[in-house]
A and B are shown apart, each in its own frame.
Chain A
């Protein structure tokens, strides 16, 4: 069981390992690099095959705990769908590795950079295919997004490619975040963190499950480029063609479809929204993609949009599976559908890239390309063979697949008799029609008799656009098309020899409902589906030869992301920022204070009138309180007076008097240390403030603005603080959980300090039968019982506050000293860089100190905050005395 898991994990990690291995060999060793890179997918294939032979598909592997607190376990699901995807990824991967060698030619740097990225994607995609655990799935899922981003932005000098890469990443990773949220909600809601376990958890059509499904589907729809997110996929064509053929047609974009396929056995029957959401969305994407595809001229763009269309078809297929036909789910050979698309779309891209390599990818410029030379003939033939698959012509796997899709629609209709399926039938026919028309146009353009002028034109074009690659010759050059030819051959082998299909791929099929054997072209039942195919083909041929839809068409959804991006970065973001970050200290302080009052009101439930006077607050006899009254009056008077005084020296004195009164309060509170400290510090700070004031100008009195709002906030905050202090004095302090040995609690922390300030009265009891950490009374005469160990010898002082500071909380005091030191350093740094010109250098600028001699004297006289002036140490014109110069200034002003 565990061994099976490790075998699959090894298959997943093998490509990444080989990819990293390619980094350590010399750049020029191209062939060795190719071999190592090839070893990745081949090892994966071999391990998958070994697993299939030894354990069989659907074998329940063991869960291996990885990070159980994050619900992240190595739980794998090697069922038919998962294993099929794993085979697909590594199988096509082999072809792509070979094709990349032909595509990049002898460009060693590109190959050096390309293979690790590709291999990382391969590992990620294998992981997505085989993961059962939600978190593991998400891990690999995001890895595919990242590697896709790296590969789309391959040409990092091209700003458009970088923008497209970001667009693809934002869309798919945004959907990925939704999916992560959905999976976590689902896991928390059901308590099951694996997809296979979800079935057992018995999900029902409840709102939480619905929300989870919508979030997960969001991830699937963005990844699989469903409307309105389809724009990222054509944008992703900025990637090198091997990437387009691999990630953006055959594998990664199907991950969304795959997730839907993973969840359909559990959710499709439970959630009524499943068909209602997926079918219309998929069908719209299907028709729209094909409609746009026929109006594109760039080969890769055409195929990108047909990919969008096909992804819509696959989604619709899973949507239709929610219905039943003759007691079985209405899902016919879903693996075949997915495989079929990979078998013609990957070759299409491979050959489009090859044609772009030798000529151009612009279809109108390729008129008569077939007649150019021998390579052109080969490329054209195989492109058209793959294109015939796109058109779902008879004797291809594609034809059967499309038939089966039509069967699904027809069955759903036959079962429900809902009129809603008529538009879907029309959509299916329309898609087929567009695909046939695209093939006809490809064929007619490529095979048309060339006319000499355009021939010359596309020759130039080809060389200008692909001059950067070193073209390969000989045997390596054939790698440009051989992988594509190899893949497309399966379309025909399976289309013509049914047994071949069943031997090669049939055993991977998970849902052989309805058909016992693979249906062949000529076996197709004469029925509605065949008529649908015939209509589609007839219309498609007509459309292909007609002049309709020949103008280029721009997908309006292309602008969605740009709009979104611009809105966020140029409009919404700055507006919000400007609104929140006013740059005005009063705004910040005001919002904090208002929030304080609001929080207080919220905590009491807004019931201001219902506040009860706390118990235990009573005034002591007036005689003992007389100094208290006096000092209170003094503090309050000074505080209220302070804002009204205008003369700056008087203000400082009022502030000082307030401080002195506060030190009196400390004295009243039996805190002599505080009173003394406050007194001395108040004197120093008074002097400091007066000094600083002398550096500042006497500014003319300004009319006080906003007095009433300020006063309102001030009164509210004052009232809140008054109430909080009043209640806090009356609150019973929590008692400590410590007991003394002679009975009774240590009442509070202060009590503990009082007891132990001079000599340690409390010891730590280490007796096994007593609580660890309990504090017991120290026995008389300093004799300790055997089971008692003294925790500390006491502070050795009578002034408890003092002992706390230097002994119990010594580290606090050290921190305090550090703060003081930092403040001194800060003040010193801020004030020291001064010159007679009066400027201060900007501490945030990084001007080189050595360049001081090169500084233009004119710069020195520029406005103070732009000037560069670094004092020479002990130079005659530097003076670290802050005050001398500025007193002059204040005299001047």
Chain B
């Protein structure tokens, strides 16, 4: 599972960077969301393979070593929620940018800031 999650992280990061380097602002936003997924999975991957382990919900008489590490999960939970907030804010900025400048082309936006 470690290998699989590493592959997922690699692909998610690659795709997100490719999108973020593009000239279309919508694509950049999507890249940012993918980046969030990739980062969350990278943290999760650091907790080790889950195969043969139990979710960290305590039951009577179970050895603690059998549970997965709850800490990365707690961190990711926070990250997901904050990621959502960022997502909403970013989408609003997208709308505002379009209303103000009538373009979502980063090349044109770059020129826009110069005057």
Contacts and interface: CB of A to CB of B under 8 A. Distances in A.
Given A725-B46, A729-B45, A804-B70, A827 B88 contact: yes
A713 interface: yes
Contacts of B73: 669, 671, 673-674, 801
Interface in A826-850: 826-827, 830-831, 838, 840
A725 to B, nearest CB: 4
Please indicate which of the listed interface residues B14, B41, B94, B100 has the most CB atoms of chain A within 10 Å of its own CB: B14
Contact of B42 (A639, A655, A724): A724
A728 B18 contact: no
Contact of B46 (A639, A729, A809): A729
Interface in A697-738: 697, 699, 702, 704-706, 709-711, 713-715, 717-719, 721-726, 728-731
A771 to B, nearest CB: 23
Interface in B42-98: 42, 44-59, 64-65, 67-74, 76-78, 80-82, 84-89, 91-96, 98
A497 interface: no
Contact of B64 (A696, A755, A886): A755
Given A658-B34, A696-B104, A635 B11 contact: yes
A718 B8 CA distance: 9
B20 A589 contact: yes
Contacts of A718: 10-11, 13-15, 17
Contacts of A812: 78
Contact of A725 (B5, B49, B80, B101): B5
A705 B21 CA distance: 10
A586 interface: yes
A693 B3 CA distance: 36
Interface stretch (A226-234, A278-286, A598-606, A744-752): A744-752
A820 B9 contact: no
A595 B12 CA distance: 19
B17 A750 contact: no
A619 B5 CA distance: 11
B109 to A, nearest CB: 8
B10 A665 contact: no
A168 B82 CA distance: 52
B40 to A, nearest CB: 7
A532 to B, nearest CB: 65
What is the size category of the interface that chain B forms with chain A? 35 or more
A512 B3 CA distance: 84
A620 B53 contact: no
B83 to A, nearest CB: 8
Interface in A739-770: 747-751, 753-755, 757-758
B110 A583 contact: yes
A816 B78 contact: yes
A799 interface: yes
B44 A632 contact: no
Nearest to A757: B58
Given A726-B6, A827-B88, A585 B78 contact: no
A760 to B, nearest CB: 14
Contacts of B59: 798
B58 A754 contact: yes
A758 B58 contact: yes
Given A639-B34, A706-B21, A819-B82, A800 B70 contact: yes
Contact of B68 (A635, A669, A693, A826): A669
Contact of A685 (B50, B52, B84): B84
A865 B100 contact: yes
A620 B18 contact: no
B71 A823 contact: no
Nearest to B67: A754
Nearest to A677: B80
Nearest to A808: B74
Contacts of B12: 635, 639, 658
B15 A819 contact: no
A651 interface: yes
Contacts of B55: 670-672
Nearest to A842: B100
A813 B23 contact: no
A187 B74 CA distance: 50
Contacts of B52: 624
A590 B69 CA distance: 35
A180 to B, nearest CB: 38
A513 interface: no
A654 to B, nearest CB: 9
Contact of A674 (B67, B77, B99): B77
Contacts of B25: 585
A662 interface: yes
A589 to B, nearest CB: 5
A777 to B, nearest CB: 13
Contacts of A668: 1, 50
Nearest to B69: A750
Interface stretch (A76-84, A119-127, A157-165, A640-648): A640-648
Contacts of A699: 24, 104-105
Contact of A826 (B9, B15, B56, B92): B92
Nearest to A823: B85
A672 B76 CA distance: 12
A692 B94 contact: yes
B100 A820 contact: no
A628 B92 contact: no
Nearest to B25: A585
Contacts of B50: 668-670
Contact of A673 (B4, B54, B77): B77
A58 to B, nearest CB: 65
B3 A669 contact: no
A721 B43 CA distance: 11
A264 interface: no
A685 to B, nearest CB: 6
Contacts of B86: 823
A805 B78 contact: yes
B82 A816 contact: yes
A629 interface: yes
A549 interface: no
A814 B49 CA distance: 30
A176 interface: no
A710 B18 CA distance: 6
Contacts of A629: 4
B110 A677 contact: no
A32 interface: no
Nearest to A816: B78
B95 A643 contact: no
Nearest to A838: B99
Contact of A729 (B6, B89, B99): B6
B56 A882 contact: no
A725 B9 contact: yes
A659 interface: yes
Contacts of B70: 750, 753-754, 757, 800-801, 804
B110 A726 contact: no
A584 B20 contact: no
B95 A886 contact: yes
B81 A726 contact: no
Contacts of A639: 11-12, 14-16, 34
A636 B7 contact: yes
Contact of A590 (B21, B78, B109): B21
A91 interface: no
15 contacts: A584-B109, A585-B25, A619-B4, A643-B15, A668-B1, A671-B76, A672-B57, A677-B77, A697-B98, A710-B18, A726-B6, A757-B70, A823-B86, A830-B96, A840-B100
Given A583-B110, A747-B65, A830-B93, 19 more contacts: A584-B110, A586-B23, A586-B106, A617-B2, A642-B19, A643-B27, A665-B41, A666-B76, A669-B47, A670-B53, A685-B33, A714-B15, A717-B14, A750-B47, A754-B58, A798-B58, A816-B78, A820-B85, A823-B89
Interface of B: 1-28, 30, 33-34, 37-38, 40-42, 44-59, 64-65, 67-74, 76-78, 80-82, 84-89, 91-96, 98-101, 104-107, 109-111, 113-114
